[in-house]
Each structure stands twice: as C-alpha cells, then as structure tokens.
Amino acid sequence: MLGTMKPTNSITKTISHKLKNISRTPLSSSSIPKEKVDCLVIGAGVVGIAVAKELSVKHGREVLVVDSAPTFGTGTSSRNSEVIHAGIYYPPNSLKAFFCVRGKELLYKYCKDHEVPHKQIGKLIVANGLSEIPKLSALMTRGIQNGVESLTMMDSYEAMTLEPELQCLKALWSPSSGIVDSHSLMLSLVGEAESHGTTFSYNTAVIGGHIEGNEIQIHVSGSNAIANWNGRSELDSELILVPKLVVNSAGLSAPAIAKRMKGLPNGIIPASHYARGCYFTLSNTKSPFKHLIYPIPEVGGLGVHVTLDLNGQVKFGPDVEWIEGIHDIPSFLNMFDYSVREDRAKQFYPAIRKYYPGLKDGSLEPGYAGIRPKLSGPEEGSTDFVVQGEDIHGISGLVNLFGIESPGLTSCMAIAEHVAAKLLK
C-alpha cells in the first residue's frame, strides 16, 4: 500500500516537478510560480485525511493534501492511545463533547463497513480514594448530559469480577469505549480519498501565506529546502498555491502556520502549548486486563491509564510533561523529542499500582511518546477544540483547526463533517 504515497495526478506531478526543478536562489514574490487548486488541506494526519475524504467522496471536490513529512500520519495521529472515547469527559455543549459522541458513531460505522481493525472493549474509570467517588459521579452525570449511553456505576466487587487484577472502591463502566488501529484507519481513508481524486503531496511544507484580494495564497516549499535553511536569510517559498478552500489541519504546527499568513488577524490565533505524554509497556507479560482502565483525569491529561492494542498487548500512559522552546521550522519538520527516558518509570509505578497493585518491580519498559497540541498552559485549565472559519477571521474559504488534542482521533470524521459544512454552506 505504499503506492498511496506516489504522485497520482497532474497536480502532484506539477508540484513535485516544480519543487525539484526550481533554483534554490532567493526568488522575488513575483517570480514564484503559482498553481490554482480547488481545495487544499494542510496536514495528512487523521483529521486532515478525514477532511480530504469528506470533501472528495461526499462533496465531489478536487482536493490536494500537502504534508511536510514523507508519508501520512507521522505526527500525533500515530502517537496516541488509539482509544475510541465515549464522550464522558468534556463539558456539555463543547465541541469536544459533540464531536466525540458523533465521531464515535461515525468511526464505529466506518470501521465496520471498511474492515478497519477495531474492538468495542469497554472502559472502567476507577475511583481509588473516598475523595474520588464524587468525581466519578460527576463524570457519570457529565457523560449522560453529553448523550453517552449505557453508563453504569459499579461497586468494587462488580468491577473486580470483570477485571480480577483491578483494585478500586468504585468504577464507572463505559461499554461504548473501544480501540482502533489508527494506521489502518488512515490507510483506508487515504485510499478512499485517492480513489475519489484526492492527491497527496508529501515532503511539501507550508511556510506561510497571504491574502490578496479575494484570494488565499499559500506559500509552500520542499521539506528538504527548509531543512537546509540557514536561519539567517529570508525563508522563500518555491511555489504559491491559490486554492478556493483551505483547511489548516497541521496539528502541532497549525497555529504557527496561521501566524505566518499575512492578512489573518493575529489576535485571534491562540498561543500554543505542548504537553508530551510517554507510554511504558509490560515486558514479557500477557495483559492482566481485558478492558481499558482509566483513573480519574488529572490536569493536562486523562491520567496514566491502561490501554490495549488489537493484539492484546498492554501499554500504560500517557503522563504529562510540559515542553517549551518549540520553533516553527523544526515543528514543521516534526523534529520533536519523542524519546522516553527510562527514569520516568519511577512515577509510573505508584500511579499504576493505585489500581493495579500486582504490577511487579522492573516490569515496565519504555514505549513511545506523543505530544498534545494544547491551547492552555499547565495552570490554565482545559480548552475546547477551536474551529475558526470566516465568522471569526473574516476570510472566506479558510478554516483553521487549533488544539485538536484528545479526543481528536475519535472525532476525526465528525470534525470533517463540520468543516465541510462550514466551508460549503
């Protein structure tokens, strides 16, 4: 299936050709070649791919997706828990609540119809101290307000009948939670979008843009060219794309790209914050659990939880580590530090043993890490997804997606539906 990465139609061929053959000497803006396109999606993560699929399959639009990476889904979309969330955690009437509940429904249907590996294994959210029981009840109330069905409060005996290795005082059972193979999902969405004329152009970075009259002009460059940029001269684009519609779904880089679009009111672009989350796996051990096990959420994340992949392998995580000093160009090239330091396990053992006392010393092994695209810092409370259209920034044909952290994977198809409706109204 790597064939999906190859240029498949004239737009990509033109782009690849132009990026390869343009001289590397600085170009004045008037000498930069321009290319008209119908719809441009910036970023081939699960959200950008779902948007491309929605615009091409459902609305018959011609879509070009550009990504600075050599293939799709190399960012946050392949560095997460792969959980299909039910919609419990988010404030009622928030975009997160709405997109999660709607997205879950669309995702289960899509996975079933397209044979994308997934499993509705259910989740237990557990209270381990008396002070956590009211928080668990509040989560149940919130979930019901959000339209999550079949939530059940269990006492410890019932929960431990489901999961004999578990220790808790009470648990909230969420049967509609599940897991999905995110790579297979993206592969399926890419294949469908491509078969409806969408073109994917990889190693193609958006470095800025400007508004000229009624036109949005997007400045792109080959990823190699920006990787070799000396940081002193001006960063020139190699090609200007002139799309009718633009969706900025560049994940961690979406606010930086928006800030580089001249003519977009700067005050409306939220500040970016980044919170790394690391995972540890269990060495040489069969999973002690059959369901997802989550503690009560913490600031910045959902707490070090148990998730399973479709082979039954267990992983614990993610924790929350705020990171700073992220610059635009390294972020466009996904040059984040994704290493998992072994010493972080020290904090994992006590966190996991609160609900899994049988965890043996020395059994955790470093897994992988992902980075949450946050719009608020450590002390600022959580924020909602931000979907900015003409109503906010005044530019027709442009949608910016900011802060698409969890539950962005679950929500991808609902976000795509909403973005298409916003653009094509």
In the complex, the smallest distance separating the C-beta of residue 78 from ligand FAD, rounded to whole angstroms, is: 7
Q: Which stretch binds ligand FAD (CB under 6 A): 79-87, 157-165, 352-360, 386-394?
A: 79-87
Q: Three-state SS for 52?
A: helix
Among 205, 218, 398, 420, binds ligand FAD (CB under 6 A): 205
Among 41, 55, 63, 206, binds ligand FAD (CB under 6 A): 206
In the complex, the smallest distance separating the C-beta of residue 239 from ligand FAD, rounded to whole angstroms, is: 13
Query: Which segments of 48-149 are extended strands (E)?
Result: 63-66, 83-84, 118-119, 123-127
Sign, CA dihedral 328-334-335-337, equals positive
Place of tokens 């990171």: 323
Please tell me the distance from the alpha carbon of residue 134 to that of residue 35, in angstroms, as a whole number: 58
Answer yes or no whether residue 255 interacts with ligand FAD by CB under 6 A: no
Nearest CB to ligand FAD, comparing residues 171 and 404: 404
**Rounded to 5 degrees, what angle do the CA atoms 417, 78, 270 make?**
60
Residues 347-386 that bind ligand FAD (CB under 6 A): 370-372
- State the alpha helices, DSSP H only, in 260-383: 328-332, 345-353
Nearest CB to ligand FAD, comparing residues 148 and 404: 404
- Residue 27, both tokens: 């170009």
Answer yes or no whether residue 102 interacts with ligand FAD by CB under 6 A: no
- 46 forms beta bridges with none
Nearest CB to ligand FAD, comparing residues 45 and 303: 45
Residues 304-333 that bind ligand FAD (CB under 6 A): 318, 332
Answer yes or no whether residue 272 interacts with ligand FAD by CB under 6 A: no
Residues 1-60 that bind ligand FAD (CB under 6 A): 42-48
Structural contact between residues 162 and 197, judged by C-beta atoms closer than 8 angstroms:
no
In the complex, the smallest distance separating the C-beta of residue 191 from ligand FAD, rounded to whole angstroms, is: 17
Please tell me the distance from the alpha carbon of residue 46 to that of residue 332, in angstroms, as a whole number: 17
Answer yes or no whether residue 225 interacts with ligand FAD by CB under 6 A: no
Structural contact between residues 221 and 86, judged by C-beta atoms closer than 8 angstroms:
no
Answer yes or no whether residue 407 interacts with ligand FAD by CB under 6 A: yes
Pairing of the two strands 204-212 and 261-262: parallel
Q: Summarize as ranges the residues that interact with ligand FAD (CB under 6 A).
A: 42-48, 66-69, 74-77, 79-83, 85, 205-206, 249-253, 257, 277, 318, 332, 334, 370-372, 404-410
